Amino acid sequence: MIKVENLCKSLSLGEQTLNILTDVNLNVTAGETLAIVGKSGSGKSTLLSLLAGLDQATSGHIYIQDKDLSAMDEDGRAAMRKQHVGFVFQNFQLLPHLSALDNVMLPLELSGESQAKRVAIDWLTKVGLGERLDHQPNQLSGGEQQRVAIARAFACSPDILFADEPTGNLDEHTGEMIEDLLFDLNAQLNTTLVLVTHDETLAQRCQRQVHLLDGKLIEHQNDTQSRSN
């Protein structure tokens, strides 16, 4: 599903060059759930943005379903995201003046879905917000906003879901409920999940964990239950 070869990302800040990622290699198979773990500032979000084609690598290749992202232009990558990718963010990223329903409808409308409204209502009902369709983000709690975001992410039935610290802005209890929801839906739809977090317990819920340290990826062959499931 995702294949990463010799990926490097560096930024030039004036005179200096900042190497954020050096020689990252990674393989994610279809249906797999993967956690990328690392300290704050270790480059997790950077890696995620490269995998999702939001940003361009300095060198190396990323293949999504055998298509080379680095060979595409911005609009090509956008088309790829529209077709294959869903997102859940730490700070929810809902549009402030739109209702929950309109927020969920947005990606459906962008991909030309004729049944956008029906699909969006279905998904909001699935995440338990069937009664809150017309509420705006500022009328919803953090947990509820993240539910809307999850409904939005799954509404397009993506092949891959990227999640960047999805519980980072939530209290522990709400965070767990969101985790449950995320993994439940993921299991139901058999979506490939790439999750970025600094939270080890959350990472443990994934089948596989990789660690980012000084811009390098270290694969953990996990001794726990996960792989065999």
What's the token pair of residue 57?
A: 């690598």
Find the shortest distance in angstroms from Cβ 164 to Mg ion. 6
Distance between CA atoms of residues 30 and 20, nearest Å: 27
Residue 71, classified by CB atoms within 10 Å of its CB into exposed (0-12), middle (13-18) or buried (19+), is: exposed
Among 33, 46, 99, 103, binds ligand ADP (CB under 6 A): 46
Question: How many C-beta atoms surround the C-beta of residue 73 within 10 A?
Answer: 9
Among 41, 76, 128, 130, binds ligand ADP (CB under 6 A): 41
Measured from the CB atom, the residue of 97 and 173 that comes closer to another protein is 97
Stretch that binds ligand ADP, among 42-50, 92-100, 185-193, 216-224 (CB under 6 A): 42-50
Find the shortest distance in angstroms from Cβ 125 to another protein. 21
Distance between CA atoms of residues 226 and 54, nearest Å: 30
Instruction: Using CB under 8 A, list all residues that contact another protein.
Output: 45, 48-49, 52, 54-55, 74-75, 78-83, 85, 87, 89, 91, 93, 95, 97-99, 102, 106-107, 109-112, 138, 164
Q: Which residues make Cβ contacts (< 8 Å) with residue 37, sequence separation at least 6?
A: 44, 197, 198, 200, 203, 209, 210, 211, 212
Distance between CA atoms of residues 121 and 167, nearest Å: 24
Find the shortest distance in angstroms from Cβ 204 to another protein. 24
Distance between CA atoms of residues 213 and 22, nearest Å: 10
Residue 40 as a binder of ligand ADP (CB under 6 A): the answer is: yes
Measured from the CB atom, the residue of 42 and 209 that comes closer to ligand ADP is 42
Residue 12 as a binder of ligand ADP (CB under 6 A): the answer is: no
Stretch that binds ligand ADP, among 38-46, 77-85, 121-129, 143-151 (CB under 6 A): 38-46
B/e letters for 113-141, b = 16+ CB within 10 Å, e = fewer, are: beebbebbbebbebbebeebbebbbeebe
Find the shortest distance in angstroms from Cβ 161 to ligand ADP. 18
Give the single-character DSSP code of 137. G
Measured from the CB atom, the residue of 102 and 164 that comes closer to ligand ADP is 164
Residue 167 as a binder of Mg ion (CB under 5 A): the answer is: no
User: Residue numbers of the site for ligand ADP (CB under 6 A)?
Assistant: 11, 20, 38, 40-46
